[in-house]
């Protein structure tokens, strides 16, 4: 159940990098429902077109690889040409796979760091002069791996830790112009490619839920609500923060074992 009024984002334009699937597509849909004009971008042009159709309400799909600064910048210019302004930017493109460090080539490590960390820099650096200032809101999708080291994910841990610092530094540098920069760190969210990769069978899923304070995985729509909050006037004094939308899963093992 949402606490936000239906026209909350009317008059705003949002660009969502990685918005062609998963959590980011959920955010895009919610923004559109609340009246924003929405543009999503992903690597695959067909997927981008399909996502735009699914979002409806005049949403547009663009194709670019966030690892390519010039291509990403060009797409954001096209968004402003199409919609006339840019108020909200989400950097959500990410890549991940499970592998031990010794099973990972230098290129494999670099690939994930490039998509996640360099991609976030490219999206945010590239959008800055296109933003409505004051009042613009930027959100990077980070992850618990930024803070909690996880085996088999050295690339994602390094990349997400970097993203958290990108958020904080940009919040400091761009705050004086009225640009807020925040992050969302989703915990385990049902129906995402990430969870399919990280928790592939029922036994692993049950173990994962048993360790979460709220005893369940989150919903994509619940992460979208966090994004709406951070972009809304209700968060006007919130910048440089990372919002954990994770059911308390980072509080430690909530499996009820105690010390015994």
Which residues of the shown chain bind ligand COA in the complex (CB under 6 A)? Answer: 94-97, 99, 103-105, 107-108, 111-112, 193-194
Using the minimum distance from each CB to ligand COA, give the nearer residue, 34 or 144: 144
Using the minimum distance from each CB to ligand COA, give the nearer residue, 105 or 257: 105
Using the minimum distance from each CB to ligand COA, give the nearer residue, 171 or 220: 220
User: Residues 187, 160, 42, 109: what is their CA dihedral angle, to the nearest 10 degrees?
Assistant: -120
Min. distance of Cβ 212 from ligand COA in angstroms? 18
Cβ proximity of 70 and 47 under 8 Å:
no
Min. distance of Cβ 209 from ligand COA in angstroms? 19
Min. distance of Cβ 192 from ligand COA in angstroms? 7
Min. distance of Cβ 114 from ligand COA in angstroms? 8
For residue 185, give Cα distances in angstroms to 60, 137, 161, 170.
26, 16, 11, 17
Q: Which of 225, 226, 205 is nearest to 216 (CA)?
A: 205
Position with the least CB separation from ligand COA? 95
Length of the chain: 260
Using the minimum distance from each CB to ligand COA, give the nearer residue, 103 or 176: 103
211: which residues sit within 8 A by CB, 6+ positions away?
Answer: 249, 253, 254, 255
């Amino acid at each position: 159940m949402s606490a936000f009024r239906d026209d909350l984002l009317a008059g705003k334009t949002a660009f969502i990098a990685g918005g062609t699937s998963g959590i980011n597509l959920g955010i895009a849909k919610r923004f559109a429902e609340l009246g924003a004009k929405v543009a999503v971008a992903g690597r695959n042009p067909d997927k981008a077109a399909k996502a735009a159709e699914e979002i409806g309400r005049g949403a547009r799909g663009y194709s670019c690889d966030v690892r390519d600064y010039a291509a990403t910048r060009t797409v954001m210019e096209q968004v402003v040409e199409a919609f006339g302004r840019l108020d909200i930017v989400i950097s959500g493109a990410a890549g991940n796979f499970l592998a031990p460090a010794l099973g990972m080539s230098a290129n494999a490590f670099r690939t994930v760091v490039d998509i996640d960390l360099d991609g976030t820099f490219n999206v945010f650096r590239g959008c800055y002069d296109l933003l409505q200032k004051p009042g613009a809101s930027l959100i990077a999708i980070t992850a618990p791996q930024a803070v909690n080291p996880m085996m088999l994910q050295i690339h994602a841990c390094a990349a997400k830790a970097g993203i958290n610092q990108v958020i904080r530094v940009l919040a400091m540098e761009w705050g004086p112009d009225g640009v807020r920069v925040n992050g969302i760190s989703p915990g385990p969210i049902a129906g995402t490619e990430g969870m399919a990769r990280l928790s592939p069978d029922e036994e692993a899923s049950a173990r994962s839920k048993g360790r979460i304070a709220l005893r369940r995985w989150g919903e994509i729509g619940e992460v979208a609500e966090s994004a709406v909050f951070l972009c809304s006037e209700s968060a006007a004094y919130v910048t440089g923060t990372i919002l954990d939308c994770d059911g308390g899963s980072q509080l430690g093992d909530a499996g009820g074992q105690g010390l015994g």
